Amino acid sequence: MRRSIHHGKSPLLASKTPAWRSRFIIAVIAVAFIGLIGMAIYIQIFESAFYQKQGDIRYARSFDLPANRGRILDRNGQILASSVMAPSVWAVPKEIDATPTQLKQLASLLNLPAIEVQKKLSSTKLEFVWLKRQIDTEIGDAIIDLKIKGVYLRKEYKRKYPEGDSTVTLVGSTSPDGVGTQGIEASFESELKGKAGFRKVIKDRLGQKVENVGKTIEPSSGKDIQLSIDSKIQFFAYQKIRDAVIENKAVSGSVVVLDAQSGEILASVSYPTSQASNNYESKGAKRNIAFSDMFEPGSAIKPFTIALALEKGLVRPNSVIPTEAKSLVIGGKVIKDTHEYKFLTVEQVIQKSSNIGTVKISQDLDAKSMWEMFNQAGFGQRPDIRFGGVTSGRLRPYKTWRPIEKATMSYGYGLSASLFQITKAYSIFATDGRLVQPTLIKRNGPAPSIEVISPTTAKQVRKMLQMAASKDGTGQFAQTSGFSVGGKSGTAHKQIGNSYAENKYRSWFVGLAPIENPRIIVGVMLDEPSAGKYFGGIVAAPVFSVTVAQALRTMGVKPDLSVVPSISSTPEPESLE
């Protein structure tokens, strides 16, 4: 007979369990649950940003989607600057898994020393490192084919400048990040840059994209900017000033071409310059010296002094000025002419560029009136034009002028201006007395302007400028086949410190054409010509001549002359101090 077993009679089971033990266990479990809830609240509410960031570091990647920068166009729609696809190579050093052969191939494709690539990829503390910015698409495809873990490509845009050196000092350049650093690129950054997009993705432990996170914001392209520049005139002017700088062994040179009717700047070139196609690898484009550099304009100021005297009725174009002395002493300083003239009419004072004649005329003018004339012509004021680095020049208050300073001011010493300012000021003579408002943006219709002198005075001075560019004037090399021209040459000693250099000059020619109904104003400047010739009428006027002819033909202006220009073999130089 099998014995029955009664478990309930076991001494252990029969003993009564203490109540505190049950309560302790329940309390421990409750505390554990409270701790878990507290930790969840802490993580989800108070430290959610931290843990989200840590998760993003490990699994999420954020990508900016670069905007396509706006194009820069000339007045006819010719592209001066545009953006093309150019991927950039970057890496996450701690993810790198590559063989020595792969790394050697990568360095070769990037055209970088292998040791430099190895150094960048060894920075395991970095989450991100650029290997090379903006490479060719073909090279990017070859890098992808290497299948190196931890090496990635980013879609970017590279700036291209089809017109090269002829426009670089005007159009400017951008940084590797597509930000304008010089010229039009910098001045119109807000319009050109566009707005970048954004995309966030989740990647697995192998670096493969799993999914997009959130909404992708597409980039919006920048706005195109259409300039007033004519690329044909710009290119031709660049070639001519480049040749003139080289031929005359000058330090630099510049040309400005201004539409007299619309105020549009058709060309603004400087030489020497640098190519901006690979702007982020170079030192950057040089400044546009037509806008940025100021100098004493010398004889180019004489027409303004004469215009003021005509306006006040102090002289007439045929008034005779005694200039028999080859020198004139004022305040202990000697003022000279290159040639001695017994008498000159007011017209001949401009034609022969007589310092003595100009000073004698100015002696009947008060300093305040002269200052107001120069000021209304734009001297001493920053031109109202959207372009970086534009100088205001210098025009001291008239109350500080001493007699000798008033005298030298009359023929262009003691004040300073840029080539652009002088070219703009000559619009007074081209537009019957009105100073035009210039622009670098294409403009439809006439330019805003203000009256400075009467139409009668403007026409009288225009005739004098034509005489100055005739075979008997100092600017006869400015004569242009098929077109009548007028203008003024200038040559001034360069100021070095507080004194003037004996053998260093700035030479220029500023004029307009055709003379009866001017369509363009052209300014030319050469800095320190040192090949034996330095007078503006000899080194700068020829550049003016060919630039005028090309510009007017490009604009479709019909010739107003049928005769060949008459040029003397030994032109008379202008006076300088």
Q: Average of pLDDT values for 139-161?
A: 87
Q: Please give the mean pLDDT across all residues of the chain.
A: 86
Residue 311's contacts (CB-CB under 8 Å, 6 or more residues apart) are: 453, 454, 457
User: 229 versus 60: which is more confidently predicted?
Assistant: 229
Q: Which of 156-165, 239-248, 328-337 has the lowest mean pLDDT?
A: 328-337
Its pTM surpasses 0.75: yes
Q: Which residues contact 222 (CB under 8 A, 6 or more apart)?
A: 67, 68, 69, 70, 191, 192, 193, 194
Judge whether residue 396 has pLDDT over 70. Answer: yes
Return the structure tokens found at 347: 């017209």
Cα-to-chain-centroid distance, residue 407: 36
The pLDDT assigned to 195 comes to 86
Q: Quick one: which of 399, 391, 458, 474 has its CA closest to 426? A: 458
pLDDT at 295 over 60: yes
What are the C-alpha distances in Å from 478 to residues 226, 256, 262, 484, 496? 31, 15, 24, 10, 30
Q: Are strands 225-226 and 209-217 parallel, antiparallel or unpaired?
A: unpaired
pLDDT of residue 129: 86
Residue 505 bridge partners (DSSP): 493
Question: Rounded to the nearest 10 degrees, what angle do helices 541-554 and 231-247 cross at?
Answer: 160
Helix (H, G, I), strand (E, B) or coil at 344: strand
Mean pLDDT for 397-404 is 94
The number of beta carbons lying within 10 Å of the beta carbon of residue 386 is 12
Q: What percent of the chain has pLDDT over 90?
A: 53
pLDDT tens for each residue of 51-90: 666 555 555 566 667 788 999 999 999 999 998 888 888 8
Longest Cα–Cα distance of the chain, Å, equals: 164
Alpha helix positions (H), 298-402: 302-311, 346-351, 355-362, 367-376
Nearest-angstrom CA–CA distance, 130 and 152: 10
User: Per-residue pLDDT for 212 more than 60?
Assistant: no
- 3-state DSSP call for residue 182? strand
* Lookup: tokens for 327: 């020198």
> Which amino acids are annotated catalytic?
299
* Token pair recorded at residue 87: 């991927």
b/e sequence 359-375, b meaning 16+ C-beta within 10 Å? bbbbeebebeebbebbe
Higher pLDDT, 509 or 101: 509
User: Domains, the chain, ranges and CATH?
Assistant: 62-226 (3.90.1310.10), 231-275+288-554 (3.40.710.10)
Strand-pair category, 129-132 with 79-85: unpaired
The Cα 420–Cα 287 span in angstroms is 14
pLDDT tops 90 at residue 550? yes
How confident is residue 270, by pLDDT bands cut at 50, 70 and 90?
very high
